[in-house]
Amino acid sequence: MKADTEIDLKVKIGGCILRNPVMTASGTFGYGREFEDFIDLTRLGAVVVKGISLLPRAGNPPPRVVETPCGMLNAIGLENVGVEAFVQDKLPWLQRTGATVVVNILGNTVDEYAELAQRLDNVEGVAAVEVNISCPNVKEGGVAFGTDPAMAAAVTGAVRRACKLPLIIKLSPNVTDIQLMARSVAEAGADAVSLINTLLGMAIDLQSRRPKLANVVGGLSGPAIKPVALRMVWQAAQAVKIPVIGIGGIMTAEDALEFIIAGATAVQVGTANFINPRATDEIINGIVEYLAQHNMRSINELRNTLRT
């Protein structure tokens, strides 16, 4: 596209410069290669890979996904190949493509998060770490790290000390006060926050009176959550000075632009990739078109311009 060269889409997350503000959301883009037949990964702001743990995880029993009105519930159970296999088998291909790679990590304990971050520090081809704190804290009775400001800050601090990479903390929406969570992790050393992760939900089959997911509850994603996500992103952007990455129900450029106007520096596209594997590419083009129509030369002119 011609407009691409005239309009500056570059955004900064910590020390990391992204080509444009459109990233993929963890868990919806595999390890990147799953999309090689559909899309040029180097067009994207960044590829955020499926959440990685220290050891491989097999995931939950099926059924793991179910559709709900304008959305879906998932209980994948964080199935992943583990950090060693990721670094050995998955990362080299991604790196060769020239894509900007953000590694999403998850742990059972604060120490596990720190160990993961340390393992990824200095690994060539890792541009940043995104920390999924919507995981149960095994040492603290299984309460999610992401629902307690002190625990979230503890994870953030530990990861901050363990690596020098730009650090994105991914916030859970299943909290009463998102501004408190955002401030806690910002003070603990986060370079950026991304939100929202999925909203906890469930669905029941009326014939069998069984839950539609084997795990009973799962994470709601897709267009159904966009208004909630937008509200939380706007609130978080008011609360902290670090960049906010908006996630939740983004299907089109229009959706992405709403998040940017609400204060997001970048966005992540999740469920939309399943339905339209070229969604990210189309969103980038749509953002360029909008900026051109509104005579803006840089994406930075649009951010946080909500008129209230």
Partner 1 sequence: MPGQYLATIESNEDLGAGVCRLTILAPEIAAAGRPGQFVMLRSGRGLDPLLSRPFSLHQTMADGRMQVLFKVLGEGTRRLAALAAGASVAIVGPLGRGFALTPPPTGTRLGLIGGGIGVAPLLFLAREIQRLLPDGTALDVLLGARSKAELAPLLADFRALGLEPAVATDDGSLGHHGLVPELIDQQWGQEGSHCRVFCCGPWPMMAAVASRCRERGWACQVSLEAMMACGFSACLGCAVAGSGKRERYFHVCKDGPVFQAEDVNWG
Among 2, 5, 37, 307, binds partner 1 (CB under 8 A): 37
Q: Name, in order, each residue with C-beta under 8 angstroms of 221's C-beta and a sequence gap of 6 or more.
A: 28, 71, 72, 74, 198, 199, 248, 249, 270, 271
Write down the least CB distance from residue 269 to ligand FMN, Å.
6
Among 19, 43, 183, 278, binds partner 1 (CB under 8 A): 278
Indicate which of partner 1, ligand FMN, none lies near residue 79 (CB less than 5 to 8 Å, by partner kind): partner 1
The alpha carbon dihedral of 92, 96, 102, 104 has a sign of: negative
**Residue 76 within binding range of partner 1, rule CB under 8 A:** yes
**Residue closer to ligand FMN (CB basis): 1 or 143:** 143
- From CA 93, how far away is CA 77, in angstroms rounded? 25
Binding pattern to ligand FMN, positions 89-128, x when CB under 6 A? Answer: ---------------x------------------------
Among 95, 97, 118, 276, binds partner 1 (CB under 8 A): 276
**Residue 221 within binding range of ligand FMN, rule CB under 6 A:** yes
Among 14, 82, 277, 286, binds partner 1 (CB under 8 A): 277
**Residue 70 within binding range of partner 1, rule CB under 8 A:** yes
On the CB side of 213, how many CA atoms lie within 13 Å of its CA?
Answer: 22
**Residue closer to partner 1 (CB basis): 203 or 292:** 203
Q: Name, in order, each residue with C-beta under 8 angstroms of 124's C-beta and a sequence gap of 6 or more.
A: 95
Number of H helices and number of E strands within the chain? 10, 16
Phi/psi class of residue 165: alpha, beta or left (left: φ > 0; alpha: ψ in -120 to 50)? Answer: beta
Residue type, 215: N
**Residue 21 within binding range of ligand FMN, rule CB under 6 A:** no
Indicate which of partner 1, ligand FMN, none lies near residue 286 (CB less than 5 to 8 Å, by partner kind): none
Q: Is 135 assigned a catalytic role?
A: yes
**Residue 34 within binding range of partner 1, rule CB under 8 A:** yes
- From CA 178, how far away is CA 176, in angstroms rounded? 6
In the window 168-197, what residues touch ligand FMN (CB under 6 A)?
A: 170, 197
- From CA 64, how far away is CA 217, in angstroms rounded? 10
**Residue 189 within binding range of partner 1, rule CB under 8 A:** no
Minimal CA–CA distance to 227: which of 76, 70, 75, 66? 70
**Residue 222 within binding range of ligand FMN, rule CB under 6 A:** yes
Enzyme catalytic residues = 135
